[in-house]
Amino acid sequence: MRLIDLLDGDLNKLSNGVVIKDLEITGLTCDSRKVNPGFLFVAIPGSCRDGRDYIDDAFKRGASAALAPIGTSGYGDIVVFTSENTRKSYAQMAARFFNQQPPRIAAVTGTNGKTSVVSFVRQIWESLGSQAASLGTLGIDAPGYQTSKGLTTLDPVDLHECLALLRKRGIETLALEASSHGLDQYRLDGVNVSIAGFTNLGRDHMDYHGSKEKYLSAKKRLFSEVLADDGVSVLNADSEAYLILLESARGRVVSYGRKGTDIRLDNIQVFEGGQRLLLSVMGNTYKITLPLSGFFQVENAMCALGIVIADGADIAKAVKTLENLQGVPGRLQHVGNSPDGATIYVDFAHTPDALAAILKTLRPYAERNLNLVFGCGGERDAGKRRDMGRIASKLADKIIVTDDNPRSEDAANIRAQSLAACPAALEIGDRAQAIRRAIAQLQKGDILVIAGKGHETGQLIKGVEYPFNDAEEIRAVLKEIGS
């Protein structure tokens, strides 16, 4: 692609005076190590490293041009363009370079529930006959094509490469996760989002955003800037953030929840393994059985329903599909039972709200003790560690505090911060040993939740990722003890 076409009319705004209309660009990246001959290198200032320090390296590797922040100079004859917002320009260039996306894209943001919602949206679309895909934490899930390695929101080049691949495979509809990091860093700018969904607002990523206001502001970008002008916002009317998002949302709004105008939950009856719902959807009443436990799954299902209805689906048929939804791996996943019949679950709950939700969901089914194993990640929001300890102490009976992904932090220090709020808990740093001990002490009527890592298949310790999956560890212990 010619550089002038990649810039798409922004040449004067981005150029530092050098105009090379016929220069061919063979690829683009913000990682100088990935530069190949003919690439455009994007120098992004970061919190730890400044991409401008790697411009020389990029040209030594064959870059034809570079994009950098305004004020960048001192590179002689090297073709360096400048932008007021290099992250946003990078994302828009990636969209132009790959130039293919599924025709209808829904993006979902919120503290908890994103992964379940995009999966539910895909499942509903598939049930209604659409070639659909989902993209996010669990990777890509599309007809005949699955990848398990994922991030909540990819780098713009990786993201648009995925979008182009999905379009070439005939995907018509895509549901993807939109993280606060991704939105704050403009990674979704350039994605043709026609529907934007919001789940809820809790505490997470304070290490990055610094405040709940900035955290919400990042998520608000999905509705006020990324969403198409004529798009539809699907908002949780029960959330504290509802009015703020409602005021800033582009296009039409579909609201859901107990206070929802378009999709309203009028009644709920809980039974083991599911919930009977009475829903008012666009003025009509429907009785359905949702085969999933937890009120949070009711909210996730309503959000997904709102998205497919906003896309134009037949309402009655879309509502009916809720009765066949399947949960995603690592989200309230029943892994097995102990020899005495105690049930064991794995859940990704790694925020205070999510941990409280899972414990409240399972409490009615615990005939005896509700047991918990949890930890907190390193290099992340340290403030939530004590909050999670407090919630564990309040809502669980027997608690083991263990390691999650300590990363480069001292694992014992992380555990100590949680233990300060639940001093009666048992401390076992080794996660495998913590799981083994928790299973060994189970009795008939108990429920055990292993929280924090969910679907993850590795544990990050001192820069090394060791293979580890909670569900596999549980199954190994159960097999060993003959369950």
pLDDT, one tens digit per residue, over 186-213 is: 999 999 999 999 999 975 655 555 677 8
Q: Which position has the higher pLDDT, 223 or 50?
A: 223
pTM of the model: 0.88
252-257 and 173-177: which strand pairing? unpaired
Backbone angles phi, psi at 413, to 5 degrees: -70, -40
* 3-class state of residue 81 by DSSP: strand
What is residue 15's predicted lDDT score, i.e. its pLDDT? 55
- Share above pLDDT 90 across residues of the chain, in percent, rounded to a whole number: 78
pLDDT band at residue 218 using 50, 70 and 90 as cut-offs: confident
Q: Report residue 315 as tokens.
A: 């309402």
pLDDT of residue 16 exceeding 60, the answer is no
Length of the chain: 483
pLDDT at 2 over 90: no
Average confidence (pLDDT) over 271-279: 92
Tell me, what's the pLDDT at 185?
93
Give the residue carrying structure tokens 């070439």. 168
**How far is the C-alpha of 235 from the C-alpha of 212, rounded, in Å?**
18
Q: Which residue has the tokens 């606060």?
A: 180
Phi, psi of 15 (to 5 degrees): -75, 145
State the pLDDT at residue 207.
Answer: 57
Domains of the chain (ranges, CATH numbers): 3-94 (3.40.1390.10), 100-324 (3.40.1190.10), 333-480 (3.90.190.20)
Which residue has better confidence, 19 or 200?
200
Query: Does 124 have pLDDT greater than 70?
Result: yes
The answer on pLDDT for 313 being more than 90 is yes
Stretch among 201-215, 311-325, 359-373 having the lowest mean pLDDT: 201-215
Task: Report the SS3 class of residue 462.
Answer: coil
Q: Which two tokens stand for residue 393?
A: 């102490």
> What is residue 225's predicted lDDT score, i.e. its pLDDT?
96
Question: What is the spatial distance between Cα 312 and Cα 112, in angstroms, rounded to a whole number?
Answer: 26
pLDDT exceeds cutoff 90 at 146: no
Average pLDDT value over all residues in the chain: 92
Residue 212's pLDDT is what?
Answer: 78
Contacts of 398 (CB under 8 A, 6+ apart): 369, 371, 372, 426, 438, 441
Cα 190 to Cα 92: distance, rounded to the nearest angstrom? 5
| Element (DSSP H or E) covering residue 451 | strand 447-451
pLDDT at 9 over 80: no
User: Shortest CA distance to 356 belongs to which of 187, 157, 203, 216?
Assistant: 203
Question: Would you call 392 helix, strand, or coil by DSSP?
Answer: helix
Provide CB contacts within 8 A for 63, sequence distance 6+: 32, 35, 38, 39, 40, 41
Q: What is the mean pLDDT of residues 78-85?
A: 85
Phi, psi of 312, deg, nearest 5: 100, 15
Distance CA 139, CA 135 (A): 6
Among candidate residues 295, 332, 313, 301, the one with its CA nearest the CA of residue 197 = 301
Q: How far apart (Å, rounded) are the C-alpha atoms in residues 14 and 235?
A: 36
Distance CA(262)–CA(104), nearest Å, equals: 21
For residue 109, the cross-strand partners are 198
Residue 223 is classified by DSSP as I
- Asked if residues 245 and 237 have their Cβ atoms less than 8 Å apart, the reply is no
Q: How many Å apart are CA 236 and CA 300, to the nearest integer?
A: 10
Rounded distance between C-alpha atoms, residue 231 and residue 251, angstroms: 5
Q: How, if at all, do strands 65-69 and 39-42 pair?
A: parallel
Closest CA to 190 of 39, 87, 44, 41: 87
Q: Which tens digit of pLDDT belongs to each residue from 287-310?
A: 999 999 999 999 999 999 999 999
Give me the pLDDT at residue 46, please.
Answer: 77
